[in-house]
Structure 1
Amino acid sequence: MNNTIANLGVAAVFDGYPPALHRRLMQLRQLIFETAEEIDGVGKLEEELRWGQPSYITSESKSGSMIRIDRWKSSHTQYAMYFHCQTTLVDTFRTVFPNEFRYEGNRAIIFDEDDDVPVEALKTCIAWALTYHSGKRTSRGK
């Protein structure tokens, strides 16, 4: 797991979150890196700021779709994992995991800092995003 944030802009964004939100977003970040390491052919993840949000894309960008994480709107207790809105990812998540998450349209999974995050289901969602363009679908979680 990559605990060091090499991108100073990304590090500054994480440092600006309230402590509980910072901890939760760092947990999402860790899940993204862990999941990427578990999937053959994903390659190295690039961490950068996109639209002011920590963003993750495979070095082989043709294989995956970008994942972003951030607080939810201006909330101090809610946060989200964002996906490209022109993909079918969130619709797929909603079909496969109808009760595990709260969704926002076709672009986000929303969490509250007090939520027990269903880790295996979320890792499946992350894996599907990281392999979206490659046609691979892992059977993680279900």
Structure 2
Amino acid sequence: MDPFTQITAQWPAPARARFDALRAIILSAAEDANVGPLTETLKWGQPAWRPVAPRTGSTLRLNWSPTAPHALTAYVDCKTDLAQRMASLYPDLPNDGRRALSLALDGTLAEQPLSHLAAMTFTYHRKS
């Protein structure tokens, strides 16, 4: 059984649909970045992905919340500079500069920025 079904089943239909699209982007980005398999799990009750291989990358999480009902939020480790880099690269994408990026449920899918974020997150510990 999909580890996320129980959580996402509680979300409204637009959030579930956008989650499915974003999950496909995340999995594709990991494949393109050649990080090997990902662990799909729940962290803090939120869908999360991390490379299985040690010292490869960091964790990326997605969540929907009734406090921000029109978006999914992507979270990165606050001890990294990933959110700051995203704010610099994609200034139009709502971002707290520390760990959270907001991805609207309607409108254009933020495919390229999320793919880039996933690749940077999953390769964070690789030597450049």
Same fold (TM over 0.5): yes
Equivalences for 1:89-100 in 2 at 5 Å? 89-99=82-92
Shift of 1:72: 4.3
Q: Determine which of 10, 13, 22 is the counterpart of 1:19.
A: 13
Give SS of 2:121's match. Answer: helix
Give SS of 1:57's match. Answer: strand
Q: Determine which of 27, 31, 37 is the counterpart of 1:33.
A: 27
Unaligned runs of 5+ in 1: 137-142
Shift of 1:112: 2.0
Task: Name the % identity.
Answer: 26
Between the aligned partners of 1:135 and 1:80, the Cα distance in structure 2 is 28
Between the aligned partners of 1:86 and 1:73, the Cα distance in structure 2 is 26
Between the aligned partners of 2:66 and 2:50, the Cα distance in structure 1 is 22
Between the aligned partners of 2:51 and 2:65, the Cα distance in structure 1 is 24
- The verdict on how the C-alpha distance between 1:73 and 1:104 changes in structure 2, with shifts beyond 3 A counting, is farther
Unaligned runs of 5+ in 2: none
Greater relative contact order: 1 or 2 (C-alpha under 8 angstroms, separation 6 or more)?
Answer: 2
TM-score by length of 1: 0.83
Deviations 1:62-106 (A, max 9, x none): 11110000014633322111100110001011112222x110241
